[in-house]
Structure 1
């Protein structure tokens, strides 16, 4: 039952994001009055008079794609740094790798977004870079903590004595040992990325204010929430459903691997 709920919560927003742009061609492309309902507008119109259904169908891919790209980049960088720190025998190298990350962890992610919003233009690539920078340190610390015991295990020591390469020891052996904690963290990390991507679009860092994006829709139509709630509630519900479903799936994979 739990797995079915997780698949449903994840699958519906994902299906809307992937197949929505195709289906959006069958929706009403004309503009009507702002925050209104009428024939051809099953979910009403937004503050610019655009069909909310069409915007929702077209607006999910940007949010989820940016969050997924940032999450993958954060795991790639954080995992490599964490394994290097856990596998090194030189304390100075461990300190050199981890202390700058502690500084980044001390800076609130929203503060970084606000600083970027004040100094950079609108660019989707900036969102990916910022979200990667603020989430990779946490991944690196998790990987280092989880990999310390495995990197000092007699099996790893024996592989080193046999002349195995660093990649074979730390990616092949240690990497397999830390899969469970990484799976447990994956749902939370993806949720954080979705939240930060949504916050970036909400703050006007990334996509244009008239873009068909779920987070932008929530931001631009919150003033008309009482007049036309669907323009805010539908995209917000899809974002919440996806994040909950991803966390439930990650928990299920962790239990199965156990």
Structure 2
């Protein structure tokens, strides 16, 4: 009973930390069906303050900010989720291989050093300006190039201990293939690291996609995503602050909440 009482607050803390992100994500997914107006439909004078039929006022073109907010989240979050899954999955496999084959680990370590020295924003500019038709594929390439080396180093460090365990060494002595060792022996024992990195890569994906949209680099997220709303409405912030604050808060709530949830879940597993 005592152990149950001690665990209940931990579960409640975990729920509270992840709840804001879940709510914002759900609103972003079902948002287009809840929007009172079409995303590109003008409903009043530009930068009108909240009132009447516009609960959050209007933007620079007189469009309803609430409708823009409801339409503008799903593409950004979906692309961030795809980036998170791609980077985490590839990095997990590379980390497991590096732990089993030390020569590969040296290559990953050097690549990680290079990725940490080159700013991600510079990578975004180089890839998306040199490949203007890349769109979302270009962002995924940037995420893999600059997120994978560092993430793979984390998985390598976690997988080294697993690779040195008795059952993995027995499987190696028994002539098991590298594929079996990676997917059958090492990766199943990296579940905690996998979950933590997935959350962190999702946050990094949100920042990456938001940065690309804010810099007006070629993407296919549409004209009403949250980062574009912040950039385009910044000039009228004094007239209608919600045109900038609403999308900024949406991005911040998702990023901070997911980050906190990853930290809390990590502490819970270690305890």
Q: Tell whether the structures are fold-level matches, with TM greater than 0.5.
A: yes
Q: CA deviation at 1:136?
A: 1.0
Q: Helix, strand or coil for the counterpart of 1:3?
A: helix
CA separation in 2, counterparts of 1:225 and 1:51?
A: 15
**Are residues 33 and 208 of structure 1, via their aligned partners in 2, closer, same or farther at CA, if it must alter by over 3 Å?**
farther
CA separation in 2, counterparts of 1:147 and 1:208?
A: 37
Quote the residue 1:47 is aligned against: 60
Residue from 147, 155, 175 that aligns with 1:163: 175
Q: CA deviation at 1:2?
A: 1.8
Residue from 34, 39, 42 that aligns with 1:23: 34
Q: Is the 8 A contact 2:115 2:149 kept in 1?
A: yes
Q: Is the 8 A contact 2:75 2:221 kept in 1?
A: no
Q: CA deviation at 1:45?
A: 0.8
CA separation in 2, counterparts of 1:47 and 1:229?
A: 11
CA separation in 2, counterparts of 1:35 and 1:186?
A: 38
CA separation in 1, counterparts of 2:222 and 2:192?
A: 41
Q: Helix, strand or coil for the counterpart of 1:42?
A: coil
5 Å-filtered alignment, 1:233-244, equals: 233-244=245-256
Quote the residue 2:223 is aligned against: 211
Q: Does 1:10 align with 2:21?
A: yes
Q: Is the 8 A contact 1:33 1:45 kept in 2?
A: yes
Quote the residue 1:186 is aligned against: 198
Residue from 60, 67, 72 that aligns with 2:73: 60
Quote the residue 1:223 is aligned against: 235
5 Å-filtered alignment, 1:37-186, equals: 37=49, 38-88=51-101, 91=103, 93-121=104-132, 123-186=135-198
Q: CA deviation at 1:208?
A: 6.9
CA separation in 2, counterparts of 1:5 and 1:118?
A: 41
Q: CA deviation at 1:255?
A: 4.0
Q: Is the 8 A contact 1:215 1:235 kept in 2?
A: yes
Q: CA deviation at 1:207?
A: 3.6
Query: Normalized against structure 2, the TM-score is what?
Result: 0.85
CA separation in 2, counterparts of 1:98 and 1:209?
A: 34
**Are residues 187 and 209 of structure 1, via their aligned partners in 2, closer, same or farther at CA, if it must alter by over 3 Å?**
closer
Q: Is the 8 A contact 2:108 2:149 kept in 1?
A: no
Quote the residue 1:200 is aligned against: 212
Structure 1 unaligned regions, length at least 5: none
CA separation in 1, counterparts of 2:114 and 2:213?
A: 25
CA separation in 2, counterparts of 1:210 and 1:187?
A: 25
Q: CA deviation at 1:150?
A: 1.3
CA separation in 2, counterparts of 1:153 and 1:183?
A: 22
Q: Is the 8 A contact 1:209 1:220 kept in 2?
A: no
Instruction: Please provide the CA RMSD for this pair.
Output: 2.2
